[in-house]
Amino acid sequence: MLIDIGATSVAGAYAHYIEGQPPILFYTRRLPIEIRTDEPHERAMLRALEILGNDLIREGAPVLARATGSGSASMILVSIDAPWQETAVRTEDFEEDDQFTFTKSLVTERLEKTGAAPSEKMLANESIIGTILNGYETRSPYGKKVYRASVIVLTSLIERAVADSIIATLGRLYHTKNVMPISGSSLRYQTMRDIFPHEQDAIILDATGGSLTSIALVRRGLFVTLIRVDTPSDDPAWVSAVTNELAEIAKHYPLPRTIFLLAREPEISSLQQTLSSANLGSLWLSDNPPKFVPVLKNHIIGSIQQTTSTSPDIVLLFMALYYQTRVIYSTHAYNQ
């Protein structure tokens, strides 16, 4: 089961996986988060989640059962966006005077020591998104003799009280403890690597969260920096805020000319037009503006089957691909 929790809506779907075949989505549903007067945002979200969960049981489970013979899910993947999540990237360095063997257990031990979260946060996920051995990026790092190594780690932190409430709600609805939370930003950044594997230099502008936009810089296939923009994408000041953060990045790194734009439909078209009309070319010290590439469902739908008549939901499609490549097939090059 896939559950997406955003700032303004929640969504769910059942995904079925057969080895060697594209995942199949059965029944998808998205509901708005309706905040009542003087009601905390979290309470409104949990109420919407409860309604969504009941819809998935009442309407979705029979659809799944008719197609697969079972109406239950073995795992619930939960993607949580701002204002309840935080995504960070860091680098862990390994260096010895003598040559040593770089192993998975060495990395695991280091992450266990350095992966602590504040008491009010849940460390939901840590994923290795790049490995550098003796100065060279490699996709098959373990077992090699090296003098120095670095791993780039993408971390998902979620407000503990919110995460506990979400897990409790889902556990009560589905009588399961097999719930896997992850920040939406981390999930989408990792999945972008699989959708566009040959884009070695790019900016990923993720505005799917609505209340928060994240900007990731990818250079030579590796994540270099990750910046948050707290201005909502429907605010007139959004473009200025994005421009200011890009200018900060440009002080330290040359900006690639490709900018991938992630947003929910139908907002993505208007956001692309807004960005294209802004005077961003000066950041590249060129009269030629950067190339904005909106990531649309057409980029993904060929890799996923969907049996419903509902229009494909880009966020749920990302989740289905993430589960296939990063959870089921955990030996994938960037998740070893």
pLDDT digits (tens, 9 = 90+) for 251-307: 999 899 899 999 887 788 889 888 888 877 778 876 677 888 999 888 887 788 888
Q: What is the pLDDT of residue 277?
A: 82
What are the pLDDT digits (tens) for 191-250? Answer: 988 888 888 899 999 998 667 788 989 888 777 888 888 888 888 899 999 999 999 999
Please name the amino acid found at residue 262.
L
What integer pLDDT is reported at residue 331 of this predicted model? 38
Q: Which of 163, 16, 153 is nearest to 88 (CA)?
A: 153
pLDDT at residue 210 in the model: 65
Cα radius of gyration rounded to whole Å, the chain: 20
Question: pLDDT tens digits for 154-191?
Answer: 888 999 999 999 999 999 999 888 999 998 888 988 89
Per the prediction, the chain carries an average pLDDT of 88
User: What structural domains does the chain harbor?
Assistant: 85-158 (3.30.1490.110)
How high is the pLDDT of residue 329?
A: 58
pLDDT in tens, 48-72: 999 999 999 999 999 999 999 988 8
Distance CA 76, CA 319 (A): 11
pLDDT of residue 274: 87
Does 278 or 21 have the greater pLDDT score?
A: 21
Cα distance between residue 193 and residue 178, in whole Å = 26
DSSP code for 223: E
How many residues belong to the chain? 336
More confident residue, 10 or 214: 10
Residue 53 tokens read as 């969960």
**pTM value?**
0.87
Paired strand residues for 11: 4, 30
Residue 41 DSSP one-character state: H
How would you list the strands of the sheet with 24-32, edge to edge? Answer: 179-183, 76-80, 2-5, 9-16, 24-32, 305-306
